[in-house]
Each structure stands twice: as structure tokens, then as C-alpha cells.
Amino acid sequence: MNSLKLIALNFTIPIVVGVFFFLLNIYQTYLSDYILSIVPFLFYLLATIVLVVSWHFNRTKFIFAILPLILFYASFSFLPQDKSRVVFELFSFIYPVHLLIFLLFKERGLFTLWGYLKILLFLTEVGIVAWFVEFPNQLLAEILGAKIFAFNLVPLSDISFVTGVVVLLVMLLLVLFGHLLIYYASYVVILISFYLGFYFVKYPHALEHSFIAIELIVLILLVREAYRLAYFDELTSLPGRRALIEDMAKLGRKYSLAMVDIDFFKKFNDTYGHDTGDEVLKMVATKLAEVGGGKAYRYGGEEFTILFPSRELDESYIFADILRENIATSPFIVRGKKANKKIFINISVGIVQSSSKDNDPFDAMKRADKALYKAKESGRNKVVKAK
């Protein structure tokens, strides 16, 4: 289960964007007529930017999040009132389901088998809406107009509201237990923004404000995703070597630095396989992320680095030894075909205090690395201080 702190951090930016445009919709009378007149053009401009950037970064889920909004807005704006009403009713409960399905699809490119399936699904949705717009159906009208609640949800239909609540609950479960929290939290706010725009559709520019908020959330998500890929290790979710190098450049004169290595990891990989080895790396990384007084990075392979800014060696040693003990006493379950096996993972640590003799933190890292090898030579599962 994801921590409440991590969930709150991932919700902060999309919520700020959503609330800003909600307030903008309420207080739009304070805006000049010129600004309001360019809102529709701003929607199309941002949509184009998001599509181009999503294409560049091969993020098809964002492409399929924005394309339906463009088609809906164009048809809702230019079709006759009776047909635009049908588009409104259909889109209000198809889009949330569409959003969830494409959120769950893995990124495997557009011009692949999975990409073609996405395109086919999207075209099927467009075809269904176009068919019922052109050929109205009495049964569909009765379903869309069915009353489920005693309270009034106009202009939303009750079926649309139920669909939205179900999709929202699924997304909230993903927020609590999913590993792609950066996506799930943003999509929750996107869904809420979408329904607010539809509920307040009679307000001038309510739809545009809602859709622009969605576009900005997606655009910010693209930037955050690019940053995550550049600075964080994909497997362990710890900051990677690039982040380590930048943070080392920011260190002051006083700091401690530790090099960490998983004991007998190659032997473990050879015995249980690389998939299980990856799970061990994830488990160790989770413990490292909780280290007191410092920040952990994946340096490469089974090796990690911990920076302790402004910390004395003895103080950092205590934190490192608590970490070593925590990992050593945490059982890891190897799942087998016949039975599961409980094993324990150990780490060795070399730790060093910054010195005036070091030209830069990389010199301190070399000394920590030598201390790490001493820890291994003296029996492993130890923390050794460098001289």
C-alpha cells in the first residue's frame, strides 16, 4: 500500500491545477472579454502541444486521453442542438470508462499489435457515438434517461454519474495499491475535472476550462514523467546515478558517504533467476529509501550509494548499521513451484567522512568503495568505516 505522504505529494500538482480552473470558471466575470474569447483557441493549442509531446515521448495513453476531448468539443460546438445533446449524453459515460481502460494499457508503442488494438478500440467508440447520433435509438434514450436517484443531476444522467463513481473508485484503489502513482493520482483529478465541466456546462466556457485543466495536468505529467525517467531508476524507483552526481555537486564541506552492496547477489541470481533477483533489488531499495539521516541512490547493478549531508561519520555509521540490521532481519520469500522458501538478504557497507584531502565527493566515494571491499573481505554483513 502506498504511503499517505507519497499519495499526497502526487495529488498536489494536479489538484492545484484543477482547483485553479474551477475557481476561474466561477469568477470568470472578472476576466476581460478578450481573454474569454481566446479560451477555445487556447484549448486547441494546448491539445496540439500535448499530442505532439506525447507522440515524441511515446506516451499513447495521453494521446488517447486528449483525442476524444478534441472530437467531442468540435462535434458539441458545431452539431445541431438535438445531435449535440446525444453526443453529450453518450460521451459523459463513455469517456470515463475509456480513460480507465487506456490508463491500464501498457505502453507498447502505437504501431504494434497492442497499438493497433488501441486504435481499433478508439475507432469503435467513435463509430458507436456517430451511429447513435445519426440514427437515434429509443431504447438508448430510455437507458440514458433512466432515474436511479431521487436527487437531480441534470445535465448529467444518472447512468453517467454511476459510471463515473465506479471508475473513480477503481482509480482510487489504484492510487492506494498501484505502483504508477504519478499516473493514477493525476487521472483521478482528470476524471473529477471532466465531470465538473459537464455538470456546469451551462456556464460560459465551463467545458473549455475543464478541458484545458485536463490538458495542463497531462502536460505537467509528461514533464514529471520525463524527469522521472532521467533521474530515477526504473526498477527500484530510487534516484539514479544522474541524480547522485547532481546532488554530490551540491554537498557542503561536511558530509558522510556510504557505498552499499548486496552480499552474494550474483550467486543468488544464478540460483533463483534474474526475476527473483530483481525482486530482491526492489526489497533492498525499499529499505534503503527509509534510511535515517540520508538519501539513497542506485549506483548500478546491486550497488547503492547513500549521501548523509552535514552528518558526522559516527552519526551516519549508526544510521547505516540500523539499515544493515533492518535488511538482515527482514525475511524474503522465494516462491517455488512446490513450496515457498524463506531466506535472508545481507548487505555490506563502506562509509566515509568528507576530508579536506578530497578534491571532490568522488574521492570520498573511492575511499568508501575500499571500505566496502574490506567489509566483504572480513565476513560481509558489516559496516566498515574508511580511514
The DSSP line for 313-353 is HHHHHHHHHHHHHHHHTSEEEEE-SS-EEEEE--EEEEEEE
Extract the residue ranges of the chain whose pLDDT is less than 70.
336-339
Residues 6+ apart with CB under 8 A from 301: 265
pLDDT, position 166: 96
User: Is residue 10 packed enough to be buried (19+ CB in 10 Å), middle (13-18) or exposed (0-12)?
Assistant: buried
Pairing of β 347-353 and β 340-344: unpaired
Closest CA to 220 of 30, 46, 34: 46
Nearest to 136 by CA among 185, 63, 85: 85
pTM, entire model = 0.80
pLDDT given at position 253: 86
Q: Does residue 66 contact residue 47 with C-beta atoms inside 8 Å?
A: yes
**Cβ–Cβ < 8 Å for 341, 334:** yes
146, three cell numbers = 433512466
- In the chain, DSSP assigns E strands to 255-262, 295-300, 303-309, 331-335, 340-344, 347-353, 383-385
Q: Residues 6 or more apart from 240 whose CB is under 8 A from it?
A: 231, 232, 233, 297, 298
Q: Where are the domains of the chain?
A: 4-231, 241-385
Q: Which three cell numbers, joined as nine digits, stand for 335?
A: 516462491
Q: What is the pLDDT of residues 167-193, one digit of tens each?
A: 999 999 999 988 888 899 999 999 999
C-beta of residue 285 within 8 angstroms of C-beta of residue 179: no
Q: At 249, list the grid cell.
A: 555537486
Residue 220: per-residue pLDDT: 94
Instruction: Extract the C-alpha cell encoding 144.
Output: 440514458
* CATH class as words, domain 241-385: alpha beta
pLDDT value at residue 152: 84
